[in-house]
Amino acid sequence: MDLEIERLESRLAERWEEQISGVRFTGGKLFGKDAVLAVCGIGKTFAALCAEAMILRYAPDAVINTGVAGALDGELSVGDMAVGSAAVCHDMDTSPLGDPIGWISGLNTVRIPLDVPMSEELLDICERLGVRAKRGVIASGDQFVCENGRKREIRENFSAIACEMEGQAIAQVCFVNKTPCAILRCISDGAGGAMDYESFKKLAADNSAKVLCAYFENAR
């Protein structure tokens, strides 16, 4: 979200900007480390476009996708963090052809793995900062999912702990480009769905930025 990136951009030194395919990339030194920031936009297509442009143009050592998500796990509440262990596409469905729901043709898998050391570091930082966090599967799709029946279906199909609209696409682009990837999502909508999202997106942005700043401060 713009709210999140504003908190990180304000800490950039030697700042520069570049626009590619309609996406504004902002770079510079973040706590002394080279970093490039971008708001990819909503949905899997914009997310994939942004991730591919970032990798081909800037060749990052790693990509971290942050943002908000809806909880699928009863242990997660508004303001908590979901750290991805793997990413799935919940609205990818070629099951009439005999494939499992979520099957990514060409990669021949449902789950896109996420970088273990990065994910563990993000979990450790959440713990040190006193932010509740849980690691698990993140489900993505081109839907704002707030209906309880659909949430239950996604949870049962993929054992996912949270759902959102971009992470899997970014993870898939990173996977085929052999770029380590992590997903960090702050829970911003509970039973109230869209209402909760509007009420708590500032809290979500604050928590995400706090964790990412600590990550970059400690990065070697």
* Chain-centre distance for alpha carbon 101: 21
**Candidate list 52, 80, 166, 189, residue with the active-site label:** 189
Mean residue pLDDT across the chain = 91
**Environment class of residue 149 by beta-carbon count within 10 Å: exposed (0-12), middle (13-18) or buried (19+)?**
exposed
Structure confidence at residue 218 (pLDDT):
83
Annotated active-site residue 93? The verdict is no
Q: Is the pLDDT of residue 147 over 50?
A: yes
Query: What sections of 40-166 are H helices per DSSP?
Result: 44-58, 116-129, 148-158
Structure confidence at residue 21 (pLDDT):
94
Q: Tell me the pLDDT tens digit for each residue of 163-201.
A: 999 999 999 999 999 999 999 999 887 544 555 666 677
Count of structural domains within the chain = 1
* Residue 95 maps to a domain: yes
Average pLDDT of the residues in 122-145: 94
* Residue 146 maps to a domain: yes
Structure confidence at residue 74 (pLDDT):
87
**Candidate list 4, 52, 80, 196, residue with the active-site label:** 4
Q: HSE on the CB side for 46, CA within 13 Å?
A: 12
* Residue 198 maps to a domain: yes
Structure confidence at residue 208 (pLDDT):
87
Average pLDDT of the residues in 117-135: 95
The Cα diameter of the chain in Å comes to: 53
CA 81, CA 77: separation in Å to the nearest integer? 9
Start-to-end Cα distance in the chain: 26
Structure confidence at residue 184 (pLDDT):
96
* Residue 49 maps to a domain: no
* Residue 155 maps to a domain: yes
Structure confidence at residue 56 (pLDDT):
97
CATH number at residue 199: 3.40.50.1580
Annotated active-site residue 189? The verdict is yes
* Residue 6 maps to a domain: no
Structure confidence at residue 194 (pLDDT):
53
* Residue 212 maps to a domain: yes
**Environment class of residue 29 by beta-carbon count within 10 Å: exposed (0-12), middle (13-18) or buried (19+)?**
middle
**What does each C-alpha distance from 140 to 27, 47, 183, 190 come to in angstroms?**
27, 11, 11, 17
Structure confidence at residue 196 (pLDDT):
62
**Residue 23 banded pLDDT, cuts 50, 70, 90:** very high
Structure confidence at residue 3 (pLDDT):
77
Q: HSE on the CB side for 176, CA within 13 Å?
A: 15
Structure-token pair, residue 80: 């908590």
Average pLDDT of the residues in 129-135: 94
Structure confidence at residue 191 (pLDDT):
47
What region, left, alpha or beta, does residue 179 occupy, with left being phi > 0 and alpha being psi -120 to 50 degrees? beta
* Residue 115 maps to a domain: yes
The answer to whether the CB of 98 falls within 8 A of the CB of 154 is no
Q: Is the pLDDT of residue 220 over 70?
A: no
Containing structural domain, residue 202: 63-218
Assign 3-class secondary structure to 89-126. Answer: ECCCCCHHHCCCCCCECCCCECCEECCHHHHHHHHHHH
Q: Tell me the pLDDT tens digit for each residue of 36-88.
A: 999 999 999 999 999 999 999 999 999 999 988 999 998 888 889 999 999 99
